[in-house]
Chains A and B, each alone.
Chain A
Amino acid sequence: MRTVLLITRREFLARVRGRAFVISTAVILLILVGYSLFVGSLSSAGDSGSTTVAVAPETLGITSALRTAADDQGRIVRVLPVSDAAAGRALVASGDADAALSGPPTRPRVDVETSLGSATGSVVTVATTLLAQQQLLPDPSAADAAIAAAEPVVVAARPEDPAQGLRIGLGAFGAFLLFFSIQTYGAMVAQGVVEEKSSRVVEIVLATVRPWQLLLGKVLGLGAVGLLQLVVLGGVGLGVAGTAGLLVAGAGLTGTLVSVLVWYLLGFTMYATVYAALGSLVSRQEDTQSVLTPVSIVVLIGFVAGFNLVLSAPTSTALTVLSLIPPWTPLVMPARIALGGVPLWEVALAFVLTAAFTALVLWLGGRIYARSVLRTGARVSWREAFTGR
């Protein structure tokens, strides 16, 4: 065990001391901050100036006031008269209307899908106030109380989780970090294996340690470097979000952090072992990329598909399926868990499948590594790696 720890320590120190670690951490931080700003600007621009409002017959009196209020605020409100309140709610549910008004014009019920946008909300509020003023003009003394009472009552079909945005953000952030760490540090494991082979130092090391110890020490050492970077990036990311007031208590923050860590450890072990075994097949750094590319593509597909589904279709079947296929589970599942609403059995199934797959990879990768790591010269063929001595 001491041997494995010594190897782990060497790998860890060799990387952390390097300038590459500091630079890559800084670059990733910049990318993350830039990306968040970009996404943030997109979402605020998404609130376009046009709103469609379905209005029930008894509430139609508000129409002119709505138009006036909308003109004042530079917005366009399309009024869609409907036969009754239920028809209006149906339009909202189908997405053909943003809101459905029903009930008394000065105090209408406003049905919405998740929430009434702040701009639309202020148009409706101003309209009810205007209406109350017009109706009560002859009796100014009664006006104040009536105006105060005149306000829309918003009823949401599916109330918005106040932490929803944060959850999606956390999920996407976690998925990105996992992808980045696995890709970067997994590739470093392969590079380290090839460096030992090409410098022939592996023969001296293997004269005193067993191949599995060297493999394990390497995976642990670089895994620890990746973890350190993950913690630094995650800490800075959450710190920034915290000072910007974006963190909402009870958004499952702790659970998300734990799940990102667990899936990182599992995912990294799996991919790092694959990368180490692949690295042991070649003897020169120039050949490393060609053996790693197929696996890198698998990782990339999982990340790109998962990341986009998390942002655009967080409840889709495609995302569920993707999160249950072992090579992709560690990239996708933590994001889904962050989003919330994943049945426990799915998490358990994904975990068992991934753990079993990782065990298989460790066994197979360890064999390939032990057989190939001392072979120098030409690339070791798959047949030799599996059957040769």
Chain B
Amino acid sequence: MLEIDGVSKRYGTVRALQDMTFSVRPGELFGFVGANGAGKTTTMRIVLGVLAADAGEVRLEGRPIDAARRRRIGYMPEERGLYPKMAVGEQLRYLAELHGMSAGDAKAAAARWTARLGVAERAGEEVQKLSLGNQQRVQLAAALVHEPDVLVLDEPFSGLDPVAVDVMSTVLRERCDAGAPVVFSSHQLDLVERLCDRVGIVRDGSMVAQGRVDELRAGDGTGASTVVVHAPDAPAGWTDDVPGVSASRAEHERTVVTLAAGADDQALLRAALATGPVHEFTHRRPSLTELFREAVGEGVVA
């Protein structure tokens, strides 16, 4: 269990983090979303000890994190970086050894991950001679080569081709299933929605919403739901007399109906069928993107 508890950080007069609190359970994939500058990278850097927090604490398995425990984290910084003039295999072995692996284990792990990520035949080449896509794969291998118990990845999907995105998704899921807490940040909200068990939305250095995606969707608190109906023959104002309808508007050929909490959607369906054929009748659930827009406020969209 990785816990971030009341972490605050200022850069001079700029407040970067204010009481940032969340936790990631073992075997949980946690998506970290928020506008640029909201504090995601700062949070991750504090978890890794690359930055010191002004206040608050990071705990791993219930105890404050220290240098020895941090070695068990696999980290991918937002700013990608490897030694440009060092060969791929050598570099991965070096990083594995820095994380405390023996020379033999490091060699085996480097070979395994280069093979897994499809860069095995490049193992002898300098990193700077690789294509950007392959460099990204090596970067991921660098985060995974020491078989970490926790993964903290800042924008792991940015710059990846679709095949690499699939490989990355599989690997994340796999580490998760092996019982590792996994946190990653991303602006690709559809991906976060698809992959993550839980999502946290950050705004101005604080967590403004967190929970399972369906929980977040369900919850604007009023219990109201939105239904989209496609009934081409329906006259304007056909929903006016249906019980429980609180609002309705036309959207192209469809009608978007807001039902009050506890209203019977079957009554709406019957009313629709009464107007003629019904081609579509769906509950519209807010996407993560909409939730995100709502949470971070107008105008600030990733």
Contact = CB atoms under 8 A, between A and B. Distances in A.
A201 B81 CA distance: 4
Interface of A: 3, 6-7, 10, 14, 195-196, 199-210, 374, 376, 388-389
Contact of B81 (A3, A6, A200, A209): A200
B77 A3 contact: no
Interface of B: 12, 45, 48-52, 67, 70-71, 73, 75, 77, 79-86, 94-95, 97-99, 142
Which of A10, A14, A203, A207 has the most chain B CB within a 10 Å cutoff?
A: A207
A209 B98 contact: yes
A210 B52 CA distance: 12
14 contacts: A14-B85, A195-B83, A200-B80, A201-B81, A203-B45, A203-B81, A204-B81, A205-B98, A207-B48, A207-B49, A207-B50, A208-B70, A209-B98, A374-B51
A201 B70 contact: no
Given A201-B83, A209-B98, 18 more contacts: A6-B97, A14-B86, A196-B81, A196-B83, A199-B82, A202-B81, A203-B79, A203-B81, A204-B75, A205-B95, A205-B98, A207-B48, A208-B70, A208-B71, A208-B98, A208-B99, A374-B51, A376-B79
Contacts of B75: 204, 207
A37 B79 CA distance: 53
Tell me what chain B mostly uses at the interface: helix, strand, loop, or mixed: loop
A251 to B, nearest CB: 44
A104 to B, nearest CB: 79
B141 to A, nearest CB: 12
A199 B82 CA distance: 6
A188 to B, nearest CB: 13
Nearest to B74: A207
A199 B83 contact: yes
B98 A200 contact: no
Nearest to A203: B77
A199 B84 contact: yes
Nearest to B48: A207
Given A6-B97, A389-B52, A207 B81 contact: no
Contacts of A200: 77, 79-81
Contacts of B83: 14, 195-196, 199, 201
